[in-house]
Amino acid sequence: MRNAERCGVSGFLCEVLFVAKNADLICRWFEEVWNQGRGETIHKMCAKDAIGYGQAQHGADIHGPEHFEQFWRTFRGAFSGIKIEIHDTIEEDDKVVARWTMTMTHTGPFLGLQPTNKRVSVNGMSIQRFKNGQIVAGWDNWDQLGLMVQLGAVPEPKFL
């Protein structure tokens, strides 16, 4: 959806194109898919040929909405009360970056760990590329080591 508008900039006329905000779309994705647990949103917002990088273990890409839904169901089976708070979004062209914090409770098996019932918090950033209102690619970088430390799976590293 593009709307053109004429505006004055230093006495010159320029044409500004307004595109449906991808920042709004990434916020909708996190709110509906993660905070509300709405699996149907995955199929509405994720293109059939979408590729996800960095959501799961190193080197394991996610291909399409069905594969993402499998990852999502496994993760939600291990953690309840998931809440993602988006702190910042930066949008350029067809991509948007979101900086976020996820809090949740470990209530199911996860990577061989039995439930600890610990409330944990991890920080991350996501970049999503959109086309026609759907995600066609996503890159995630989140503190998986910090999560494992909070769950007691690995000792806390001491850098200072």
Q: What is the pLDDT of residue 16?
A: 43
CA atoms of 96 and 138, how far apart (whole Å): 10
Domain edges within the chain: 21-150
Instruction: Extract the tokens encoding 46.
Output: 């994720």
Q: Hey, what CATH topology would domain 21-150 get?
A: Nuclear Transport Factor 2; Chain: A, (3.10.450)
- Tens digit of pLDDT at every position of the chain (160 positions): 333 333 444 444 444 444 448 999 999 999 999 999 999 999 999 999 999 998 877 778 999 999 999 999 999 999 999 999 999 999 999 999 999 999 999 999 999 999 999 999 999 999 999 999 999 999 999 999 999 999 999 998 888 7
Residue 57 has a pLDDT of 74
pTM of model > 0.85:
no
Interstrand relation of 95-106 and 79-92 (parallel, antiparallel or unpaired): antiparallel
- How far is it, in rounded angstroms, from Cα 97 to Cα 141? 11
